[in-house]
Structures are given as structure tokens and as C-alpha cells.
């Protein structure tokens, strides 16, 4: 462990939703939800205004709409998110040669390697101010002597704060926290611990390593004890490159019902895609992992024709793969992963767009149905949150569409007041898709 809090963990606050609010003046201070808008869409990020109503990431979009019907529900715009992420990562790179990005909006920084380990708090405050000036967004920062504590500290700092964990104070921070705070403690592990009377991190630590190994197995038990004691010597690794992204769950009771297995697999696929998108990646190969009642572990994979980050594609592929696995005796563990990673491709965005179109038609009916039989059916599709430009009104974004019409709000990120709203036929010749505007106006 280090003698000073020189590992910094930065996490942008509600990143996707915050970018949307920053680029759309009419949405500032209002609930915003970003994600897949189709019938089986999943929330990628919710603004803090939406979280007050119980909306959170990885939630089914249909559930989110019930909890917060007045929110703006928007498609993700990864091109803009990546542009903003690049600005943030460049600022981190000015602090140290050791920057470990975890996703578009999250990273570790080794301040000691940058020669600024003697003034970490001042450096962190200056960084947060520079990020706000460059992007208009807020970031939460944790400083500690280890990656584990720095990440937990940044969570405590949210939103828009800074928490410093000085060496020697780790237990004071950790002890009252629930065991679920620790990495690797999911629902199944937390339930095992609860049944053993271990609800807080202090209780986990006091149980001792031997007891945790008995409860959870050698590797998991020993790792959990070290984390509960605040011990973590993992280094910050510059430009860490993921070869695959995966998630898995262990179940307290073996799953024997095929429908339940499929339901859990769908849920894992959605979680996997959330991580995939958070890392700004797509992938070609879908992998499932199945540990059966007798502890035998099988993996099955299928390589797609092109990289994807479409949750429907990952779910359907995983469902095909599980059909080839005998689960009649029971399933202890399920996992879904994606490998063969690539940067986001245009095809990925088309997949998200198709999902949003399906949602729109589920609400309004196909646009063709609203068109008189003697007129050509409209072919253009406009998606909520999509960037557009009008020959007369300028830059704007789609608020919604249906029944042959599209509603657009015309405003720019630097507008002081919400822009005006106009409605057009979906085939309006003066309305075209456009690239997103930068969050901060570039000087001439």
C-alpha cells in the first residue's frame, strides 16, 4: 500500500444523460433517460432527475417509462460521447503517463507516476474544474492509496464531488458499508453472506479469511477478505485493452426450468451489452458459459458476420447457443460474453436505430398505415434525440415522430434558452440528419 492517496479514480456523472442535457438546453434540469427504445430496450444511463423516480441503468426501458413517464427518452449518440470522452482522457493524460481507461467515462490515474504525488487534492480539484470548463460536465473523483479505495471513494463523492481516503483511514470508510459495495459481491454472494450474518464490510472482515474461504471457496473467499481489509496492490495499467467483455452470475439454487434459464441468459446479455457500450466497443463473437449441477463447465460460442453491440442480437445468439446445452440436471452458473472487440461501427448505430423504430411503431403503428393508399409510403425514420438540420431553422434534434410527422426542437448547446419546436412531414425535403454539434462553441 502507498503512503499517500496518489491513485485517482474519475467517474463522469450520469455521463450519457449529462451529455444530452448539456447539448439540449431544453432538457437541463429535467429527467433524461438514454438507452434502447425498443420493446426490450434497456436503460444505459439516467440523469439524476430521473433517478429520483427510481430509474437506473440496466433497468428495462418499459419499467423506466412507468416510473418516470415525463422523462425524455433518447437514443444513444456514441459519436458525441466518444468526442467528449477524448477531451476528458486528454486532460487525464496531462497528469500522468499511467492512465487506465475503464470505459468512455471512467478511468484510473497514477499521480505518483506523473510526479505530482505530493499534492493530490489540489490536482484533483483543478482537474474537475478543467473538465467542467472544457465540456460543461461534472465529474466525481476519489483519491486513495489503492484502486479499490479510489473507486469506492469516487462513488461516495457522487455527484460532482471529491473524496480523499488518507492512508490509515480505510477501515473507517469501509466498515459501515454493505458488503455489496465490494467488487465481485453480486446478489448470490451477498445472499450467502447474509445467511451467515455478514451484512457489512466490517462483519465480513471480522469473520476472518478461513471462514470466508469455507463459505465461498478459496479464491473468492481470500480475495473478499483482502478487500474487506482494504488491501489492494493492483497497479494502474496504461491503456488497458480488453480482449473480451463478459458477465456471469452464480445461483443459490440450481436452475432447472428452461424458461428461467432463458430469462437469466437474456438478463446477462443485456448487462454484457451495457458494459460493452460503456467501453465504447462492439464485438463479433458471442460466448455463453454454463456450469452445471455437477460443476462441469461448458462454453459455447458463435461468430457473427460483423461486430455488434445490439442487445437483441446478443440475446438471440445466446439463446441459440443454450439450446445445444443439456441443462436438465440443473445450472449453477450462467455467463454471457462478447469477444473479437472492435470500435463502434456504423452498423452498430443502425442496429440501435432499428430498435428505436420498432418502439415508435409499437406506439403509433407503422408510418405507412397513416398514409392514404394513393400516396407513396414514407420511408424516412426519425429517432428521439437524433441530430438534424433544417435549411431555414438550422440545427436541432428530434423530439418524436409518428403518423407521418416529425417534431423537432431547434436549439444549440450554447443557447441560453430552450429552442422553438416545429413539426414537419417525415419526408420534408429541407430536413436532414446531421452530425452532433460540440458541447462548447469553438472560438474562431
Catalytic residue positions, numbered: 106
Decide: helix, strand or coil at residue 290: strand
**Nearest CA among 6, 15, 8, 233 for reference residue 103:** 15
Alpha helices in 158-251 (DSSP H): 170-174, 187-195, 201-207, 209-216, 218-228
What is the greatest pairwise CA distance in the chain? 78
Look at strands 32-35 and 72-74 and give their pairing.
parallel
Backbone angles phi, psi at 192, to 5 degrees: -55, -45
Q: How far is CA 102 from the centre of its chain?
A: 11
Q: How far is CA 200 from the centre of its chain?
A: 26
396, β-bridge pairs: 388
- End-to-end alpha carbon distance in the chain: 48
DSSP 437: P
Report the C-alpha gap between 46 and 31 in whole angstroms.
8
Report the C-alpha gap between 387 and 408 in whole angstroms.
9
Q: How far is CA 155 from the centre of its chain?
A: 15
User: Residues 317, 367, 356, 23: what is their CA dihedral angle, to the nearest 10 degrees?
Assistant: 160
A 10 A CB-CB count for 252 gives: 11
DSSP 35-71: E--STT-BEEEE-HHHHTTT--TTSBHHHHHHH-TTS
CB 16 within 8 Å of CB 81: yes
Backbone angles phi, psi at 320, to 5 degrees: -65, -40
CB proximity list for 321: less than 8 A, separation 6 or greater: 286, 288, 300, 301, 302
Amino acid at each position: 500500500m502507498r503512503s499517500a492517496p496518489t491513485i485517482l479514480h474519475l467517474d463522469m456523472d450520469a455521463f450519457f444523460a449529462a451529455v444530452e442535457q448539456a447539448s439540449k438546453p431544453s432538457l437541463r434540469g429535467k429527467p433524461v433517460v438514454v438507452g434502447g427504445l425498443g420493446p426490450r430496450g434497456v436503460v444505459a444511463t439516467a440523469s439524476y432527475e430521473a433517478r429520483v423516480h427510481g430509474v437506473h441503468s440496466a433497468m428495462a426501458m418499459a419499467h423506466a417509462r412507468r416510473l418516470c413517464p415525463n422523462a425524455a427518452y433518447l437514443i444513444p449518440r456514441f459519436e458525441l460521447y466518444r468526442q467528449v470522452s477524448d477531451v476528458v482522457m486528454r486532460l487525464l493524460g496531462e497528469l500522468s503517463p499511467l492512465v487506465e481507461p475503464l470505459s468512455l467515462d471512467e478511468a484510473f490515474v497514477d499521480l505518483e507516476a506523473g510526479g505530482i504525488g505530493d499534492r493530490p487534492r489540489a490536482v484533483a480539484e483543478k482537474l474537475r474544474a478543467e473538465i467542467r470548463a472544457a465540456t460543461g460536465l461534472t465529474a466525481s473523483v476519489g483519491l486513495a492509496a489503492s484502486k479499490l479505495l479510489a473507486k469506492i471513494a469516487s462513488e461516495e463523492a457522487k455527484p460532482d464531488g471529491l473524496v480523499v481516503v488518507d492512508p490509515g483511514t480505510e477501515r473507517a470508510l469501509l466498515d459501515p458499508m454493505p458488503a455489496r459495495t465490494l467488487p465481485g459481491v453480486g446478489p448470490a454472494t451477498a445472499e450467502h453472506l447474509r445467511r451467515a450474518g455478514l451484512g457489512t464490510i466490517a462483519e465480513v472482515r471480522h469473520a476472518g479469511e478461513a471462514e470466508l474461504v469455507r463459505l465461498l471457496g478459496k479464491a473468492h473467499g481470500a480475495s473478499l477478505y483482502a478487500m474487506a481489509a482494504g488491501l489492494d496492490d493492483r497497479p494502474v495499467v496504461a491503456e488497458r485493452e480488453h480482449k473480451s467483455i463478459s458477465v456471469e452470475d452464480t445461483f443459490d439454487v440450481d436452475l432447472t426450468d428452461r424458461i428461467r434459464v432463458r430469462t437469466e441468459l437474456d438478463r446477462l446479455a443485456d448487462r454484457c451489452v451495457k458494459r460493452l457500450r460503456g467501453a465504447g466497443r462492439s464485438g463479433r463473437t458471442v460466448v455463453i458459459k454454463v456450469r452445471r449441477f455437477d460443476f462441469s463447465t461448458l462454453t459455447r460460442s458463435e461468430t457473427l458476420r460483423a461486430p455488434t453491440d445490439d442487445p437483441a442480437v446478443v440475446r438471440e445468439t445466446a439463446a441459440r447457443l443454450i439450446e445445444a446445452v443439456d441443462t436438465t440436471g440443473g445450472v449453477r452458473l450462467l455467463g454471457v460474453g462478447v469477444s473479437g472487440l472492435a470500435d463502434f461501427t456504423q452498423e452498430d448505430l443502425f442496429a440501435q436505430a432499428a430498435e428505436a423504430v420498432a418502439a415508435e411503431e409499437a406506439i403509433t403503428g407503422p408510418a405507412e398505415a397513416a398514409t392514404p393508399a394513393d400516396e407513396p409510403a414514407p420511408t424516412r425514420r426519425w429517432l428521439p434525440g437524433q441530430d438534424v438540420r433544417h435549411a431555414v431553422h438550422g440545427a436541432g434534434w428530434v423530439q418524436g415522430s409518428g403518423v407521418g410527422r416529425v417534431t423537432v426542437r431547434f436549439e444549440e448547446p450554447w443557447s441560453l434558452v430552450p429552442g422553438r419546436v416545429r413539426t414537419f412531414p417525415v419526408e420534408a425535403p429541407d430536413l436532414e440528419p446531421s452530425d452532433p454539434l460540440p458541447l462548447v462553441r469553438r472560438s474562431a
